[in-house]
């Protein structure tokens, strides 16, 4: 058990608390209120002071593509033409990015999210393994969604779908308390 205090607590579901504290027990918020009140209720509990800071819930990124983080800005010229954007993205992934690049991109995106205060991702990925591993390694919460790519050849669509289904099920078997498959 530990008490975290700061000049400002922003509980979201209630009014901000000046000079507040949050009691965390077993990784969960157990109490929130004014620091003196929380400290009096739990006198033997260690207090970590953050001073002139705000303690608040983490942000949720409800639509991310962690594996594409490395391409930020690369596709901006195609913003007004979805078809061209999609073709450029698909070709770049296939021709320029290997598995290691995708892994690093997903990890970069997860770490970048942490620095921005994001603690939970809904990540959509063509290479679902990359987002899954990045979320697990960083101990972030998340829901992973498997993206399907438009098959360029309808003759391979069924085979492509089966491969995606198998990969999706493989990831589902490794869900954790923090990272789920949607």
- 28-69 pLDDT, tens digit per residue, is 999 999 999 999 999 999 999 999 999 999 999 999 999 999
Which class for 8: exposed (0-12), middle (13-18), buried (19 or more C-beta within 10 A)? middle
- 């829901």: which residue's tokens? 143
Instruction: Write out the residue range of the structural domain in which residue 7 sits.
Output: 2-55
User: By 3-state DSSP, what share of the chain in percent is helix, strand and coil, each rounded to 5?
Assistant: 45, 30, 30
**Domain boundary, last residue among 39, 55, 71:** 55
158 and 71 share one domain: yes
- In angstroms, the CA 136 to CA 65 distance is 15
How do residues 61-114 score in pLDDT, each as one tens digit?
999 999 999 999 998 998 899 999 988 988 998 899 999 999 999 999 999 999
Q: pTM score > 0.75 for this model? A: yes
Number of domains in the chain: 2
9 lies in the same domain as 92 = no
CATH number at residue 11: 2.30.40.10
* Residue 73 and residue 10 in one domain: no
Residues 30 and 63 occupy one common structural domain: no
């Amino acid at each position: 058990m530990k008490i975290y205090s700061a000049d400002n607590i922003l509980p979201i579901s209630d009014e901000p608390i000046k000079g507040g504290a949050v009691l965390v027990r077993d990784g969960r918020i157990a109490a929130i209120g004014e620091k003196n009140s929380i400290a009096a209720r739990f006198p033997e509990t260690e207090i970590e002071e953050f001073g002139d800071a705000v303690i608040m819930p983490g942000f949720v990124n409800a639509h991310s593509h962690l594996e594409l983080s490395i391409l930020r800005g690369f596709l901006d010229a195609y913003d007004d033409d979805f078809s061209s954007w999609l073709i450029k993205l698909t070709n770049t992934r296939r021709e320029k990015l290997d598995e290691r690049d995708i892994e690093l991109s997903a990890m970069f995106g997860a770490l970048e999210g942490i620095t921005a205060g994001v603690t939970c991702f809904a990540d959509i990925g063509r290479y679902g393994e990359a987002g899954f591993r990045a979320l697990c390694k960083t101990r972030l919460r998340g829901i992973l969604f498997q993206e399907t790519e438009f098959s360029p050849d309808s003759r391979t669509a069924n085979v492509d779908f089966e491969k995606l289904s198998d990969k999706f099920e493989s990831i589902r078997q490794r869900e954790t308390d923090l990272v789920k498959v949607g």
